[in-house]
Chain A
Amino acid sequence: MTLLPRPVSVALGWFTLAALGALAVLGLWVAPSDAVQSDAQRLMYLHVPAAWLAYLAFFVTAIGSALYLWPRTRAMVWDHVAGASAELGVIFTGLTLVLGSLWGRPIWGVWWAWDARLVTTAVLFFLYLGYLALRRIPADPDTRAKRSAIAALIAFVDVPIVHFSVSWWRTLHQEGTVFNSELSPEIEGTMAFTLWFGVLAFTLLYVYLLSKRYELAVVEDELEEAELELAIAERISEPVGSAVVRGAP
């Protein structure tokens, strides 16, 4: 079972690769270097799309989880989609944090700042890391799916609360020392095009990776089932009474 028909998946894969290649050319050579930040600003073309992709992935996880919990739409496909999407979300949240840190060092002079967005993203990373750990614990597929879906929805509800409390905390204590207006100029022309192109390329990458991870999840399930059947068959084919021999006088 696949999310996308095979020809579509293959075409999407090549198309994504081409889009990422074009993004590299656009971001590194075509787009002009920033007046204030010079070449460091080029990290934006990866950082912003990665962050967008992370949020998209967690949103899809929440939708998949809700659809699994809703009795009328309950199907394993939603559990697989939720799990696959959360994995991508965690990877791209991690990428967002690393890229942001690399960008922050030359521009702000620090690897990390206690800004609301940064703190929320870090909490987000750990929220879903916990979700993935929960998913990895072996259990009956239906039980695991239900448990994971509830955990995913709790994480999803928690994110706005975390963001609200963190941003309130930071704004109460200090005015934006980092994100002031001078450092976030209006963006237009080639730079805006490159940024939007990056978002598009990363979205394609997300769809492609999601469909592949989904296929992998289905195969994993099949493998587990086959191993179980094999074990049962071996147990049945053992000679009758063989278990008694050891205890016999």
Chain B
Amino acid sequence: MTLLREALLVAAKDLRIERRAKIVLSQVVPFAVIVLLLFAFALDPDRGVLTRAAPGLFWVAVLLASLLAVSRSFSVEAENRARDGLRLSALEPMAIFLGKGLAVLAQLLVLEALLAVGVVVLYDLALRSLLPLVLATLAATIGIVATGIVYGVLTAGLRLRETLVPLLVLPVVTPALLGATRAWEASVDGVPGEAWPWVAVLGAFALVATTIGLLAFGPLLEES
């Protein structure tokens, strides 16, 4: 299938740039860990608040980091008119959307794995019922990434994009934050039955976000 092959080509390009520049690994991941520390300063760790709020805090940290990861994904093409190159490459716009999404998804999943270790170690959180937990994480991240990529290309090349992207993305992804936090809480509490409905909501959100992205990315790339 050419669409998938082209998508993997774009994803491989973005991941190769990341392997060489290590911006996400050396800047975004430490940023997310600092956010975890900041939450601990804000909420006294001795009172148990931190452990109870851990799922929500984890997802807020992921959300903030995802804004940076998306921003990075589009700044790699900001210089030397690389976006023009991408536009002229004769690659299917849908494949570019999927490719850029896959690359950011891979980076965020790594970031989430590291942050999960962070909340287990720093917040004393016991992760149970791993299957709904992992599926909720995957679905929520796909939804966040798909939304982020759409707004990334929507604002690509705009002077004010750093301040605009958070305002545009955060309200749209509120269902992902809400669903993922509830699914994590249920998993942590050891009641996976309560997590599954949220996994379904997150799956639906991911599906809608990806569909919109596939449809909108082409016209937006043309205009950017």
The interface bits of chain B over 144-164 (1 if a CB of A lies within 8 angstroms of the residue's CB, else 0) are 000000110011001110001
Smallest beta-carbon distance B219→chain A, Å: 6
Q: Cβ of B135 < 8 Å from any Cβ of A?
A: no
Interface string of A125-150 (1 = CB under 8 A from B): 01101110110010100010011001
Q: Is B79 in contact with chain A by the CB < 8 A criterion?
A: no
A145 CA to B118 CA, complexed, in Å: 44
Q: Which of B155, B172, B179, B194 contacts A154 (CB 8 A)?
A: B172
Question: With A and B bound together, what is the CA distance between A56 and B129 in angstroms?
Answer: 44
Quick one: given A137-B160, A154-B150, A168-B201, are A161 and B208 in contact (CB under 8 Å)?
A: yes
A154 to B173, CA, bound (A): 11
B182 CB contacts on chain A under 8 angstroms: 169, 172
Q: Which of A147, A158, A172 contacts B223 (CB 8 A)?
A: A147
In contact, B201 and A134 (Cβ under 8 angstroms): no
Contact status B172-A150, CB under 8 Å: no
Is chain A's binding surface mostly helix, strand, loop or mixed? helix
Verify B216–A154 contact, CB threshold 8 A.
yes
Contacting A147 at CB < 8 Å: which of B154, B194, B201?
B154
State whether the Cβ of B212 lies closer than 8 Å to any Cβ in chain A: yes
Asked if B201 contacts A155 (CB within 8 A), the reply is no
Q: Please state if A150 and B216 are interface contacts (CB–CB under 8 Å).
A: yes
- Cross-chain contact B175 with A161 (CB below 8 angstroms): yes
CB distance from B191 to the nearest CB of A (A): 12
Size of the chain B interface, CB-CB below 8 angstroms: 29
The answer for the CA separation of A161 and B175 in the assembled complex, in Å, is 7
A190 within 8 A of B: no
Which of B178, B194, B204, B219 sits near A150, CB closer than 8 Å?
B219
B168 at the interface (CB under 8 A from A): yes
Q: Which residue of B lies closest to A154 (CB)?
A: B212
B220 within 8 A of partner (CB) = yes
Instruction: Check: B205 CB closer than 8 A to any chain A CB.
Output: yes
Interface of B, secondary structure class, is: helix
- Chain A residue nearest to B169 in the complex (CB): A130
Is there a chain A Cβ closer than 8 Å to B174's Cβ?
yes
Q: Is B167 an interface residue (CB 8 A)?
A: yes
Query: Which residues of chain B have a CB within 8 Å of any CB of chain A?
Result: 150-151, 154-155, 158-160, 164, 167-168, 170-172, 174-175, 178-179, 182, 194, 197, 201, 204-205, 208, 212, 216, 219-220, 223
Residues of A in contact with B (beta carbons under 8 Å apart): 123, 126-127, 129-131, 133-134, 137, 139, 143, 146-147, 150-151, 154-155, 157-158, 161-162, 164-166, 168-169, 172
What would be 28 A-B contacts, judged by CB atoms less than 8 Å apart? A123-B171, A126-B171, A130-B167, A133-B164, A133-B167, A133-B168, A134-B155, A134-B168, A139-B158, A146-B219, A146-B220, A146-B223, A150-B154, A150-B216, A151-B154, A151-B168, A154-B150, A154-B212, A155-B172, A157-B208, A158-B172, A158-B175, A161-B175, A165-B205, A166-B175, A166-B178, A168-B201, A172-B182
Extra 5 A-B pairs, beta carbons < 8 Å, given A123-B174, A133-B168, A164-B175: A130-B171, A131-B168, A133-B164, A147-B220, A162-B174
